[in-house]
Amino acid sequence: MKSTRNDVGRNATKKQNGRTATKTTKKAAHEAAVLDGSADSLDLFFANASRYPLLTADEEVDLAQRIERGDMEAKDKLVNSNLRLVISVARKSQGFGLPLSDLVQEGMLGLIRAVEKFDWRRGYKFSTYGTLWIRQAIQRGLANSGRTVRLPVHIGTRARKIARTERELAAKFGRDPTVEELAEAVELPAVEIELIRSADQTPASLDKPVGDSEETSLGDLVASERPSPEAEALDTARDQGVEEALVKLPDDEEKVVRLRFGLGGERPVALSETGRRLGISGEQVRQLERRALE
């Protein structure tokens, strides 16, 4: 894989003539997030993330205001300065079926969405808001990857193509694509996509070897890494910020967010199960979640 696909910092700040700021940032950051799962690839991502200093609250507000005026460089800077946030959330999501490289890739989509939706007028730090969007993106990726039956080769190939195309369209549109949009992109009937999605439920393994060595798995490599005291302190402060933001929400929105994002040490709860617990429909859950994040 070319180094430019691994170099998140360079790709996320590269300008492309003739494109809008939104499309440029999404494409650069999304492509940069496509890691190959090797130890070198992850190390390079971590190294690039550490190149960007953390922002102060005033700097975040300034960047957000510039983004509202269409400043592409400000958007790139807010993305790049929060790459460590993606790593932090991704590390906490290990052990549920996706390697760290995939978790980071999914988290990048959430980060980009958070940058686009961030409202500085509410007074929250970006890390508080961004954490929720990154968690949501990672949880969606985990849900899409979890499979319980072995699929025929041709169905598995189509399932992977659908999942990959769905991520690409989400990055392009800034939202989840409709089944019809996905069907057009992969050139399959919408009903077939629905059937493949329902069958695509086999568990992934973290024991896959990484790099050229057959002796080291990505799970072993990542499990041996411990965050620094500084990183742990930042995580604690970030979690406190999320908690402070949650208590300001209406009760129904707060309950939905806590269940859906697995806050408080619990595992994330599916849409339908959240609705069952709260006595509301899945669509109502979706609306409350969207409202809480806006």
pLDDT at 242: 66
- For tokens 């988290």, the residue is 107
How would residue 64 be classed by pLDDT, with cut points 50, 70 and 90? very high
Establish if 207 belongs to a structural domain: no
CATH of the domain at 275: 1.10.10.10
Task: Give the pLDDT confidence score for residue 3 in this predicted structure.
Answer: 42
Question: Interior CA angle at 176 toward 31 and 202, to 5°?
Answer: 80
pLDDT tens-place string over residues 137-148: 888 787 766 544
| pLDDT top residue among 109 and 238 | 109
CATH number at residue 155: 1.10.10
Q: Is the pLDDT of residue 198 over 70?
A: no
Q: How far is CA 261 from the centre of its chain?
A: 12
Residues 99 and 227 in one domain: yes
Residue 267 parent element (H or E): none
Q: 117 near 133, Cβ under 8 Å?
A: yes
Whether residues 19 and 127 share a domain: the answer is: yes
Residue 106 has pLDDT above 70, yes or no: yes
pLDDT, average across residues 92-106 = 82
Task: Assess whether 237 and 106 both reside in one domain.
Answer: yes
The tokens for 202 are: 């086999």
User: Do 3 and 100 share a domain, yes or no?
Assistant: yes
Q: How far is CA 54 from CA 80, 114, 125, 155, in A?
A: 10, 17, 12, 44
Q: How confident is the model at residue 63 (pLDDT cuts 50, 70, 90)?
A: very high
Task: Flag whether pLDDT at 103 surpasses 50.
Answer: yes
State the pLDDT confidence band at 205, using cuts at 50, 70 and 90: very low
Ramachandran category for residue 95: left, alpha or beta (phi over 0 → left; psi -120 to 50 → alpha): left
Regarding whether 90 and 172 lie in a shared domain, the answer is no
Domain tally, the chain: 3
pTM value?
0.46
Average pLDDT for the chain: 71
Please choose, from the candidates 166, 185, 164, the residue with its C-alpha nearest in 3D space to the C-alpha of residue 175: 166
The CATH number of residue 221's host domain is: 1.20.120.1810
What is the average pLDDT across 25-32? 43
Quote the percentage of the chain above a pLDDT of 90: 9
When pLDDT is averaged across residues 78-93 and rounded to a whole number, the result is 89
Identify whether residues 51 and 167 lie together within a single domain.
no
Closest by CA to 9, choosing from 44, 38, 35, 58, is: 44
Domain ranges, residue 258: 250-294
Res. 291 pLDDT band, cuts 50 70 90: confident
Range with the poorest average pLDDT among 40-54, 128-142, 185-199:
185-199
Which of 184, 202, 220 is a domain's end point?
202
Residue 118 Rama label (left phi>0; alpha psi -120 to 50; beta): beta
Residue type, 272: S
| Same domain as 31, residue 137 | yes
> What is the C-alpha radius of gyration for the chain, rounded to an integer number of angstroms?
19
Spell out the SS3 assignment of the chain: CCHHHHCHHHHHCCCCCCCCHHHHHHHHHHHHCCCCCCHHHHHHHHHHHHCCCCCCHHHHHHHHHHHHCCCHHHHHHHHHCCHHHHHHHHHHCCCCCCCHHHHHHHHHHHHHHHHHHCCHHHCCCHHHHHHHHHHHHHHHHHHHHCECCCCCHHHHHHHHHHHHHHHHHHHHHCCCCCHHHHHHHHCCCHHHHHHHHHHCCECCCCCCECCCCCCCEHHHHHHCCCCCHHHHHHHHHHHHHHHHHHCCCCHHHHHHHHHHHCCCCCCCCCHHHHHHHHCCCHHHHHHHHHHHHC
Q: What would the pLDDT profile of 247-283 be if each residue is shown by its tens digit?
A: 778 888 888 887 877 766 566 777 777 888 888 888 8
pLDDT at 59: 93
Here the tokens at position 123 are 């007074």
CB atoms under 10 Å from CB of 136, counted, come to 22
Are 18 and 99 in a shared domain? yes
pLDDT of the residue at 68: 92
Please determine, for residue 35, whether its predicted confidence score (pLDDT) is greater than 70.
no
Q: What is the pLDDT of residue 265?
A: 59
Overall residue count recorded for the chain in this entry: 294
Higher pLDDT, 10 or 70: 70
